[in-house]
Amino acid sequence: MKRIYRALKTGLATLLLRRGGRLIDLEWYREQNLQNSYCQRFALVHALLFSHRATARSHPLFCPEYFVEQCEKAGLAAPKNPLKTYLRDRCYWHVDTHPLFDTHFYTNQISPPLEMPPLLHFLDEGHLQFDPHPLFQRTWYLISYPGLKKMQRHCALLHYLKIGYRAAASTHPLFHAFYYAEQAGILLKDGTSNQDLLLHYVTSSSFDISCHPLFSPQYFFRQVPTNSKTRPYNTIIKEYLLKPENWALSTHILFDSQYYLAQNSGKVTDKSPLAEYIEYNFRYRNPHPLFNTQWYLGRNRDLERLKGQGCVPLVHFVMNGYKMGESPHALFALQWYRHTYMQGRLDNVNPLIEFLTAGEGKGNRPNPLYPANWKTLLQEKYQCSTLEEYARNNPTGLPSRRNRISDIFATKYLNSDINIQDIKNYIILFTPRSGSSWLTELISDRKTLGRPSEWFNPDLMQSAMNGFYRKSENIYEYCSALQDRHKSAEGFFGAELTAKHLSLLIELVNINAVFNNPIYILQLRQNIISQAVSLFLATETGFFHASNTINSNNTVEYNGLKIQNWAKKLLQQEKFLCQFLNRQETPYLISWYEDLQKSPEEVVDRIAEYITGTRIAERSGKPHVNAKVGSGVNLTFEARFREEQPSLVAEIEAARPFLHSIDAGKPD
């Protein structure tokens, strides 16, 4: 009986192949007929008998309803048996079988004309050489799934339709899946999607949603005489990607195509300038006169560890960099401009774009080095009416030592005259959500040790300088003024520094020289997973301290991927602090958040004694508003993360450099 069944199965398979079996994916077919128990048990027989029906989905790339709809648009009779008609009638070969298989685009890449249905050719061998759709590029997709390179017979598009779409994978240099999801209001849970984002974009009827942060349909429309009601999908495909005569047009206010094409470094291809820049030349060419790639890469070294869209400097700047206060060019001090002309607000308005579209016309200065009449001087001396024109015609050399901190000041990049004062300094190095605000409030109450604060947070430095008796012209004068203004009556001065702000400061000054060999206190948290959860909740809700009640009712859903990213960032910061302290070759004191919770006054006693050499008797009995906030949500999220990621938790905890250090001295 088994022999007869195997023979029957072989015969049916042979018949199925003759009827176009390459367009019947049995695994897919089962998924489309989950409620049919007969299909689940005998998928091959069921497909042979019923796959000809007009609604039967036998293959991911053959959608009968879509095929019939396209037939009617092409003026062909709607077939009763879509699959059979497509395979046997040559008149139907030019009809699209799926929104992501563009027959016209595919066949235009092939010469001579095909003698078989295009979809069959693509599935046989064409998928290794030719792209199926203008927004699906196999080589780009393989960046997300490099393992597919070794699986030569595996079709990348089929992989995307079955697996890749769930990870919100990018399918083309000009399709940024995460950006599109945000624009379309599609929720990604833990970085995964329940919808095919590319398919959603291709079939969307929206007129104002872009698929990439560097392609603005509205900006492109101003240069192309086209119908303003044209869908962005048609604009990016028909008016840009497939129309070389429009490649000289800019796609975004910060991507100047002609400026980009005038440069000859990097790789020259037959692709559109924007696609070429994102895929090959983002490290070698500047996309805009006021965006210097090497300048930006030097200030954002983390980009080197990313891949795909995430490592492209201009993409990073447009999506996140400007919010972080990173300047795109030596001529434009973004953080200073935001504080001076935009009231320091951290909203969705990019300061550089605001300057180019409105601020420059009002006479706003691009950086504190320029006088009020800078536009007149620019015209008289260089015959340039805008800063962009000046940067285009007069490329400036980049100072080697400038960053967000030095951008605050108005004179020369650096002036190394150091006025060392007889002040006893201490620096508290900390990681976020480790109790640093609580600790500094307790220390400030003692008065003897002064009032330590984040004096080198670029977002707060302007406010600090407002309290100075005289203007600080450079970082050294700022350090001197800080110590003079905020030292205690007993001569103690303290400052807080995160790993990020420490990295910026050590690029500019010798900390031991400027602060007269300070004493170092390290504020950390033993439970790094709890810390990562706390940081995730704080950044998602905006509720950091008990003193902040504005956002206290905000709620947030669990996101394991974001918690994992925060845990890894905290580990990186601890490692950086460890490297810095090792280079100082001086003892330091470690203070743990958990000890601060149990006995805050005893922790401050120990720190005060370490700094001063004597025990300070004074204590404050008042409540502290900066005590960290937490709830059952923190514990629930932590328990869930530890349960889901036990190996990752163990790996992170094993890699921590300070975890087993209890008191002053070197880390293990």
CA distance 668 to 660: 7
pLDDT tens-digit readout, 51-66 = 555 455 678 888 888 9
**Residue 245 carries which side chain, given as an amino acid letter?**
E
Reported as half-sphere exposure (CB side, CA atoms, 13 A), residue 74 has a value of 19
Question: Residue 240 CA to chain centroid, in angstroms?
Answer: 26
Backbone phi, psi, residue 583, to 5°: -70, -25
Reported as half-sphere exposure (CB side, CA atoms, 13 A), residue 189 has a value of 5
CA distance 637 to 556: 11
> Do the Cβ atoms of 648 and 561 come closer than 8 Å?
no
- Closest among 402, 409, 407 to 299, alpha carbons compared: 402
Token digits of residue 336: 């200073």
CA distance 546 to 596: 16
Token digits of residue 41: 């048990």
Residues 6+ away with beta carbon under 8 Å from 16: 24, 44, 47, 48
Q: What is the DSSP letter of 399?
A: P
The predicted pLDDT at position 111 comes to 87
Please name the residue that has the structure tokens 């905020």.
486
Check residue 163 and give left, alpha or beta (phi > 0: left; psi -120 to 50: alpha). alpha
CA distances from 135 to 105, 140, 443, 602, 615 (A): 11, 10, 58, 62, 68
Check residue 206 and give left, alpha or beta (phi > 0: left; psi -120 to 50: alpha). beta
Residues 6+ away with beta carbon under 8 Å from 620: 442, 445, 446
What is 87-121 written as a DSSP string?
HH-GGGTTS-SBTTB-HHHHHTT-SS--SS-HHHH
> Do the Cβ atoms of 298 and 326 come closer than 8 Å?
no
> Do the Cβ atoms of 466 and 406 come closer than 8 Å?
no
> Do the Cβ atoms of 521 and 589 come closer than 8 Å?
yes
Helix axes 458-466, 334-341, angle to 10 degrees: 50
Low-confidence ranges of the chain (pLDDT < 70): 1-57, 149-152, 226-230, 301, 304-307, 344-347, 369, 395-422, 542-555, 616-631, 660-668
Q: Is 487 helix (H, G, I), strand (E, B) or coil?
A: coil
CA distance 301 to 642: 30
CA distance 490 to 476: 23
Instruction: Print the SS3 string covering 298-321.
Output: HHCHHHHHCCHHHHCHHHHHHHHH
CA distance 487 to 422: 11
Please name the residue that has the structure tokens 């004062």.
421
Distance between first and last Cα of the chain: 70
Q: Where are the domains of the chain?
A: 1-96+105-129, 134-281, 424-655
**Residue 564 carries which side chain, given as an amino acid letter?**
Q
Residue 365: how many other CB atoms lie within 10 Å:
22
CA distance 482 to 469: 10
> Do the Cβ atoms of 118 and 107 come closer than 8 Å?
yes
Residues 6+ away with beta carbon under 8 Å from 287: 214, 254, 255, 256, 259, 260, 277, 293, 314
Pick the CATH number of 424-655 from 3.40.50.300, 3.40.462.10, 3.40.50.970, 3.30.530.20: 3.40.50.300
CA distance 570 to 238: 46
> Do the Cβ atoms of 133 and 98 come closer than 8 Å?
no
CA distance 107 to 114: 8
pLDDT tens-digit readout, 30-87 = 555 545 544 444 444 445 445 555 455 678 888 888 999 999 999 999 888 888 888 8
